[in-house]
Structure 1
Amino acid sequence: MQFYFIENNKRPRGRPITTFPITFNNDLKHAPGEKMTLTSQKDLNLIRDIAQNRDEWRTFTAEIRRGAAKAVQSDDPTSERL
């Protein structure tokens, strides 16, 4: 995981690769309240600490799911018809 955080300064060619850290970082953007990111080893360690406590992890993932659901609803043009 430590190689994921190393800056390369070279722009990769072709289609961007979708990996778990990229997908997880995008999901973290939907978390309500304090915005979390996965951009450093410090962020990864914080998420690992949350994951150590089962109840805290369930609450954390539920908040992300709710935030993602709200984001999808706001992007849905049919939701305005109600």
Structure 2
Amino acid sequence: MLFYFSDNKRARGRPQTTLPTTLNNDLKKLVATKLELTTQTDLDTLRLIAEDRPKWNALVAEIRKTADAARSDDPASGRL
């Protein structure tokens, strides 16, 4: 996670999909929360939420609901 916040130069080509980038994209999609994974303090805030089981379950449920809604809006998803 610390590498994600460091200012290292990126390699050429398509950027790798990592856990921090995926989590940040999911958090950005949530309208109800203003969470974003851009700094070390954001990561610490997310850790505190993860330590509180009811808050973490609520956050995960909200991410799932947002992802399901986005999938249902996509006409190409699930169709052959």
TM-score tier by shorter-chain length is 0.7 to 0.9
Partner of 2:70: 71
TM-score (structure 1 length as normaliser): 0.78
Percent pairwise identity: 49
In our comparison, the structure showing a higher alpha carbon Rg is: 1
**For the residues of structure 2 that align with 1:32 and 1:67, how far apart are their CA atoms?**
9
**For the residues of structure 1 that align with 2:67 and 2:26, how far apart are their CA atoms?**
7
Task: Give structure 1 stretches of 5+ with no counterpart.
Answer: none
1:48 positional shift: 0.3
TM-score (structure 2 length as normaliser): 0.79
The letter for the 1-side match of 2:51 is Q
1:29 is paired with a residue whose SS is helix
Matches within 5 A, 1:55-66: 55-66=54-65
Bigger RCO (CA 8 Å, 6+ sep): 1
User: How many residues are aligned here?
Assistant: 77
**For the residues of structure 2 that align with 1:73 and 1:35, how far apart are their CA atoms?**
24
Task: Give structure 2 stretches of 5+ with no counterpart.
Answer: none
The letter for the 2-side match of 1:23 is T
Runs of 4 or more, structure 1, over 3 Å off, are: none
